[in-house]
Each structure stands twice: as structure tokens, then as C-alpha cells.
Structure 1
Amino acid sequence: MAKKRVIVVCPGRGSYTRETSNYLSGLKPDISSHIISFDKKRESENLTRISELDKNNFRSKIHMTGENASPLIYACSVKDFMLIDKTKYDIVAICGNSMGWYIALALGGAITFDKGYDLIQTMGTLTQNHGSGGQIIYPIINDEWQIDIEKKELVLKEIENSNSFISIYLGGYIVIGGDQNSLDRLLKKLPRNDKYPFQIPFHSAFHTSLLSGVVATAQSSFNRNIFNRPSIPLVDGRGNIWSPWSTNKSELYNYTLGHQIIKPYNFSASIEVALKEFCPDNIILLGPGNTLGGPVAQVLIDHNWNDLKAKSEFVQNQAENPFVLSMGIDEQRGIVM
């Protein structure tokens, strides 16, 4: 039987929650060896081991900070990636949301798993200690997950009026970055929509100019030679493809430790390009959790992928023959393994 072509999508910050505790339990030896290596690095830095964080009762002030959340999410994604049955699935491209770009670099072979930990730990700590501002998330879709043009235009106008920035294009949501005064104005100005506008706790103004002070420190922390050409094509936060055959390693370094830190991350474009360029049979979402399930579906609907036009159709299709396979959902995890 021919392998199914799949795109793998890596999660960003906020994906490890109370519901995903103990995600790293029952590891196979080949996966456990990586977690042990990460734990040794944590111990050398006087930080709580990832395996202990995962076992401990979830506390937002501990588990959601950059220095803990970032490597914890990375470890969970490494586990899921290694559990994908490679005899059934041919991974044709990898992309990620925000911090998920760093995970994609490691899983795609552009950096080693150990250097992936170093990069993710360093960036999580840097943005925690030296980042500024925060992020708000707000929907620009209707109840059927179709883009509402009027709502989108209103949000973009309020972003401009408040002197804040687009941080992430996230399917049917816009993540807004800014200093706290700007965000406070938006929290009052944007129309209430269920729990939105919602300020994401423990986040700085990622992917905006407010993080420009982090760039020099990040670049001084890593040598360009840690980057290689990926073994699997990567799609970045602009929709650019980094190919195993043509990647310029210096440009990959500059993008990762420069451009994407201070410029908007277009997750929607990365999914669109991955779909249209690699034509997958399925999309596999790595855990922890399933935070990207909705945004990915909203991109599918926006581009009428597989003639998909609405949330109700997506839900029905997922029940009958799922196109999106989330490893954070037990039933779908079983299909992937």
C-alpha cells in the first residue's frame, strides 16, 4: 500500500494546559532518550526537569512561563513526531505556528534535536526576561468559520488606531501585539464576542518591533553553523519554502533569529502554501493539545480545500473521514500511530 502524503504542523505557546498534563508518560526508549537529554540540560541550568514539570500539578505561573512552557511543548511535540507511523505516512512538509517554527526546524533536520532544545529554551527565556508588551487574540470569522470581511476591516482599523501591531495571522483569528497601554485600549474598544478580545497570559508582543531588543542577544547566543539544509521541506511564517536542495543556511539563520522575531507570523499563509505546493492526503497536528485544529480548519474553509465551505461541513467530514489528524485527540492519535 502506498504511503499517504502528510503535512506535519507544530504547535506554539499556549498549547500545554491543565488538560495535557502527563503528556510525556509511558515513553518508548528511543523517545525517552531525548527527554533525558533535555532534562540533563535543564538540571545544568538549575531548572526543573521537563519530565517533572509534566508530572507536577499544572500551575499557570509555572507551566506557562517562557522558560518552562517552551521546552515542555517542544518535548511533547518530539514525542508525537516520533510516534507517527513512517511506514504509513510520508512527511512531505513541516510548518508551525510561532514558536512552532523552532520545533519545525528540529523535526525537519535543519538543526539537531539537542540544538532545537537549546534554541527553544534560549528564546523562551529571552522573551520572558527581555520581551515587552503582550498579545490579544480576536476572531474575524462568523459562526461557520468563514472570514467576515467587515469584522476583519474593523479589527485592522482598531489595530492601527491603537498603535499596536499584527502579531500572527492565525486562520480565523488575528493575534495582536502591542504595549500594555495599546492593548488596554483594544480590550475596551473591540466588540465583545464570547470570551474575546482575550489577552494571552505570559506572552510578550511576539513577532513585533517591540522584541527588537531580543534579536542581538539571540544572534549572539548561536553560531550560524548550527543550521543545516533541512531533510524535509519547511514552510515558514511568510509562506516561504526551505527546501533540502536549495536552502541557504545563512539566510535560514537570519530569518529565524531576525525577521520572524520582529515581523508578523503568517500561519495562515504557511498552511495555504503547504496545501497547494505539497497536496497532502492528510494534515497531522502535533500535540500537546489541539489548539491549531480550529485555525487549520478555517484556512481550509477560506480556500475551499476539498470543496470545504463551512464549519458544519468540516465537522461532518472529520467524523466520517478525517482530513486533519490531531495527535492531541486520542481517537485520531490512534490513526496516526
Structure 2
Amino acid sequence: MILDTKAQSAANDQATPVKQTVKKRVVVVAPGRGCYNKDELGYLKRFHQDKESIIANIDRFRGEMKQASVTKIDGAAKYSFKQHTPGENASALIYACALCDFMDIDTERYEIVAVTGNSMGWYIAMACAGALAGKAGIEVVNTMGSMMQDGLIGGQLIYPVMNAQWQLDENLSSLVERTIATISDEDGCELFTSIHLGGYRVLAGNEAGLKRAETLLPQIDEKYPMRLYNHGAFHTPLLESISEKGFGTLSSSLFSKPSIPLIDGEGHIWTPHSTDIAKLRDYTLGKQVLELYDFSKAIQVAVKEFAPDKLIVLGPGNTLGGPTAQALIDIKWFGWSNKTEFSEAQHSLPKMLAMGNEEQRGLCSAE
């Protein structure tokens, strides 16, 4: 008996299962201010010349605001603190770099299960997740980033609260808390915790409060406490006027339900099906501006709730890589309990990939 060849072929197809590549689950982390530095100059030109339409839309919006294009700022002959660090320039530039990086993630290899970010990175995360769609992303980022172009309100400094092995040091944490309490009791001084940033504490306050903190906090590595240049008192009550301006300027129509789950600075998850858009706007322009941003908690909630195989930290730069790893070490995620274990694991089978690192970038993007 001679079998029909087509029938035989169909039978063979049914008998032999098609091999499919199982996607790795990833949480994407968006950076905040301070990640575009001298080494990142030309980031858009190096990595994103194929994103002309996206960058052009950002430049067009900034042109309408009478602001320099991100193309021009990124393409400057040399890095300048005066040009590259003010909020009205840094915010849009970092947004452009990070959003384009997000678009380069190879979705044939990776399933993006959640997105989070640090500080300004919350706005970027919202754009990546679809909660700020299209032009809304640059409008929110650029508007909030430009609020203090006529003068900063307060400032920020950063101080480590960990040991050399990236383990949280309770003594240092207690010291920072006592210092904040002492300064806050002094006339004319205001000081708050602004961000829990892995093994660092970002403090924000008025000039008097920051100067007292620089006096009272012991020097570490001849580097800390370190002032963050051109940073206002983000995530503190000092920015009440900025929050009010945000509510008055940015309409509800800019906000949408995310298409990917979002984790905010309180560790709250905003899902595609349950997000109340009005509440999302209220948080973004209210609490997110005026209260502590707990980046460490956001990372820890993200891995506990979504169990990713890896985390991808968007560029530019890789300043957020350390704090992300430190937040994971704090809960012994991926079996990491110290910096040595993290470093060894990264060399053998990396679980955290930074797109600002050219070697790791190739592991994130499509070939």
C-alpha cells in the first residue's frame, strides 16, 4: 500500500512537535536623573539612529516649547554641566534614551512582565508601559522636568547606608534617621528622606538643612555625603507648588491604563485591567512628587510578584545597576547575599542586564 505523500507529511508534522523557544520573563527598570554623564554623550547617535521618527517627535515638542532639541544636546561637541544637567534638558534627554532602549529589547527572547523606575524613571516607566501613550510621555516628562527652570527648590544629597559587601548597615541607617530628626528640629532647617535607593539614602531639603547634614554626617570614602548637582528637593513636601502646577497643567486625557503592569514608588502595582486612571494621575502628580520614593521596595515587589528570570535596566549609563542589585541582595533574591556573590553570578550567568553597558546591551537587543 502506497501512502499519499501529503498525508504522510501531515502525519509526520503531527507526530513531531515544533520546537519553540521559551521566552525569558523580565522586569524592566527605567532610570531617573543623573544617569546621563560625560561618558554617555552621543548615546542617541550611537545606539538609536534608527529611531528618527521617535526622536523627531520629542524634538518637535521641545521646539514648540522654545527648548533645544535632544538631538542637539546629545550631539554637543563636549559634555557640559550647564547644558546637560538642568532638569529642562536632562529629563527629556534621558527619556529619549531610555524609551529608545526599551524599544530595542528583543521581545522574541523576552517577555516583559512588569516595568518600574526610579524617581523621574516613574514617568519613563509609564511611557514604556503605555500609561503615557505617544506624545503624552514627552509632555509629562518635559513639563515636570522644566518646572524649576527659573530656580531650584531645595536640593538633594546621597549617602551610603551599606557596607563594602552591599549589605544594609543598620547602624548607618539609624545614624541617618537621627541626623534627619536633629536637623528637622533646628530653626530654618528642613530635611527629609527623598529616595530609598538600594544601599543609598537620598536626602532632600532646603539649603540650611543640607548644609547641616553635610556637617553632621561622617565622611565616607572622601566622597559622601555627596550633593547632586542641579537636583531639587524631589519627593518632599517642599515641592508642593510643583505638584499644584502639575495638576493645573497636565490634563487627565494624557493618562491611560497601562498595557504592562507598573510598580510605583510605594510598591503599588498598577495592572492593565484594574487601574483607575484618575488615581494614577493623582499619584503621579501628588504623592509621587511630595512623598518618599521607595525604589528599593519597587524592585523587591517586582521580583516577588512577577518572578522574572532577569531584570533589564534601561540606559543611558549604568548608575542604577548598583542600587538595583543592592535592593535584590537585601532580600537575597537570585541567591545573592553580598556583592561578591552578585559579581560572580554576573560573570557566569547574568541575571541583571544594563543596556547602558555595551557588552550586556547585546544580550538584550535583537541581533
Q: TM-score range by the shorter chain?
A: over 0.9
User: Which residue of the other structure, out of 58, 63, 75, is the alignment partner of 1:38?
Assistant: 58
Q: Does 1:165 align with 2:186?
A: no
Which structure is larger by alpha-carbon Rg, 1 or 2? 2
Q: What letter matches 1:171 in structure 2?
A: G
User: Which residue of the other structure, out of 115, 119, 131, is the alignment partner of 1:94?
Assistant: 115
Give CA deviations for 1:17-63 in whole Å, capped at 9, x if unaligned. Answer: 01001101156676221100111112222211101100102101110
Distance (Å, rounded) in 2 between the aligned partners of 1:191 and 1:2:
50
| Structure 1 contact 128–204 (Cα < 8 Å) conserved | no
Report the CA distance shift for 1:26/1:311 in structure 2 as closer, same or farther (over 3 A): closer
Distance (Å, rounded) in 1 between the aligned partners of 2:333 and 2:153:
38
Distance (Å, rounded) in 2 between the aligned partners of 1:252 and 1:130:
28
Give CA deviations for 1:278-298 in whole Å, capped at 9, x if unaligned. Answer: 000000000000011110111
Q: How does 1:1-337 map to 2 (within 5 A)?
A: 1-26=21-46, 31-56=51-76, 57-129=78-150, 131-163=152-184, 164-194=191-221, 195-337=223-365
Residue 244 of structure 2 aligns to a residue whose secondary structure is: helix
Report the CA distance shift for 1:95/1:328 in structure 2 as closer, same or farther (over 3 A): same
Shift of 1:114: 1.4
Ranges in structure 1 where 5+ consecutive residues have no aligned partner: none
Q: What letter matches 1:54 in structure 2?
A: D
Distance (Å, rounded) in 1 between the aligned partners of 2:48 and 2:291:
38
Distance (Å, rounded) in 1 between the aligned partners of 2:48 and 2:208:
48
Residue 116 of structure 2 aligns to a residue whose secondary structure is: strand
Report the CA distance shift for 1:158/1:109 in structure 2 as closer, same or farther (over 3 A): same
Distance (Å, rounded) in 1 between the aligned partners of 2:337 and 2:207:
37
Distance (Å, rounded) in 2 between the aligned partners of 1:98 and 1:129:
21
Distance (Å, rounded) in 2 between the aligned partners of 1:286 and 1:332:
11
| Structure 1 contact 130–214 (Cα < 8 Å) conserved | no
Q: What letter matches 1:41 in structure 2?
A: F
Q: What letter matches 2:344 in structure 1?
A: Q
| Structure 1 contact 3–89 (Cα < 8 Å) conserved | yes
| Structure 2 contact 156–205 (Cα < 8 Å) conserved | yes
**Range 127-136 or range 76-85, more displaced:** 127-136
User: What TM-score do you get using the length of structure 2 for normalisation?
Assistant: 0.90
| Structure 1 contact 31–82 (Cα < 8 Å) conserved | no
| Structure 1 contact 7–93 (Cα < 8 Å) conserved | yes
| Structure 2 contact 136–255 (Cα < 8 Å) conserved | no
Distance (Å, rounded) in 2 between the aligned partners of 1:161 and 1:28:
48
Q: What letter matches 2:22 in structure 1?
A: A
Shift of 1:129: 3.1
| Structure 1 contact 136–175 (Cα < 8 Å) conserved | yes
User: What TM-score do you get using the length of structure 1 for normalisation?
Assistant: 0.98
| Structure 1 contact 15–73 (Cα < 8 Å) conserved | yes
Give CA deviations for 1:154-185 in whole Å, capped at 9, x if unaligned. Answer: 01110111121000000000000100001001
Give CA deviations for 1:169-228 in whole Å, capped at 9, x if unaligned. Answer: 000000001000010011011010011000100000000000011111111111112111
Report the CA distance shift for 1:28/1:205 in structure 2 as closer, same or farther (over 3 A): closer
| Structure 2 contact 152–230 (Cα < 8 Å) conserved | no
Shift of 1:128: 3.6
| Structure 1 contact 24–54 (Cα < 8 Å) conserved | yes
| Structure 1 contact 12–99 (Cα < 8 Å) conserved | yes
Distance (Å, rounded) in 2 between the aligned partners of 1:108 and 1:162:
39
Q: Percent identity?
A: 46
Number of residue pairs the alignment of both structures matches: 337
Give runs of ≥4 in structure 1 deviating > 4 Å: 26-30
Ranges in structure 2 where 5+ consecutive residues have no aligned partner: 1-20, 185-190
